[in-house]
Amino acid sequence: MNKNEGIKLKTLFIDLNDRSSDNIISHSMAEIKSSGFTDINLEVKTSIEQEAVKLQVDIDLFTRIKEVQDLPDWVIVKLIMADGKLKGNSFKERVSNG
């Protein structure tokens, strides 16, 4: 299945810490297959809060930037993670001479 050809038909929210989720997944896959579908596209998503904690992002800094800049959450996390990455790598010279 081509990613561009996909149509969203169903969404499942699964808690991987809950063992009863196994039954939900199994039942849903059987239901999808019995409906005649042969291919599915599985996307794994998480909340920005979980990612911020996992990446050890300063939550206070994240909140302040969000309040002032009104940027999407993922942009703020990438901005914080990039802190100091360009320092000392000749980025300014490469950009200004290009």
Question: Using the 8-state DSSP alphabet, how is residue 86 labeled?
Answer: S
Full domain range(s) for residue 57: 48-86
- Tell me if 72 is assigned to some domain: yes
- Tell me if 15 is assigned to some domain: yes
Number of domains forming the structure of the chain: 2
Summarize pLDDT for 59-92 with one digit per residue, the tens.
Answer: 888 888 888 888 888 888 888 877 766 666 766 6
pLDDT of residue 34: 93
Q: Are residues 55 and 37 in the same domain?
A: no
Summarize pLDDT for 7-37 with one digit per residue, the tens.
Answer: 777 788 888 888 888 888 888 889 989 999 8
Encode 40-57: b = buried (16+ Cβ within 10 Å), e = exposed: eeeeeeeeeeeebeeeeb
Question: pTM for the full model?
Answer: 0.45
- Tell me if 64 is assigned to some domain: yes
- Tell me if 53 is assigned to some domain: yes
